[in-house]
Amino acid sequence: MGDDRPKRSWREIDQSREKARPRRDERERARDKASSSASYSRYKSQLDQLFKPGGAALPEHIRAKMGPEDGEAKARRALLDALREAPTEANLSAYLEPGHPLPDEPRFLMGLLAIRNEALIRPVLAKLLDVVESGQRPNRMLLIQRLEAAQTFAEEAETIDLIRMLRAALD
């Protein structure tokens, strides 16, 4: 009861395995090599810093292409940077006073809910409601906790209604 077929060598076995595997394209190999290089990882980290809120400023050659920035835009940017750095009642009041719109960043807006002035919180709540209704989904549990905290100090009906509408939009 012997086996009459010839035994395959390890070389033949390896060759059959290589045939079974799909060949990688040269472009894929070049892309993998480029993505693992040190210069590419530095480029990616600089790019991440550029798009992170409060991160790095635009490089000079890109800023020059965007044209000159007017005084009003610089002032708005300075107020927004101050508000991001220290979300206090004074900074929020200074930002909202000239009528600047709040950004559509749910995490930033949720951080502003710690302010205890109802007149300043109402535009934040309205913007959060717009953000949620537009389809962006902030961290639901964190927002619910912030809304419950805001509801404990809310006394005016308009503020309480905004909190309830925002809570209903989350469910």
Kindly compute the dihedral angle of the four CA atoms of residues 81, 85, 89, 92, in this order, to the nearest 10 degrees.
Answer: 20
pLDDT for residue 147 is more than 80? yes
Nearest to 55 by CA among 91, 85, 75, 76: 85
pLDDT digits (tens, 9 = 90+) for 39-98: 888 888 888 887 776 667 777 777 777 766 777 888 888 888 888 888 888 988 898 888
d(CA 45, CA 19) in angstroms, rounded, equals: 39
Residue in the block written with tokens 């709540």: 125
pTM: 0.59
d(CA 14, CA 18) in angstroms, rounded, equals: 6
d(CA 118, CA 120) in angstroms, rounded, equals: 5
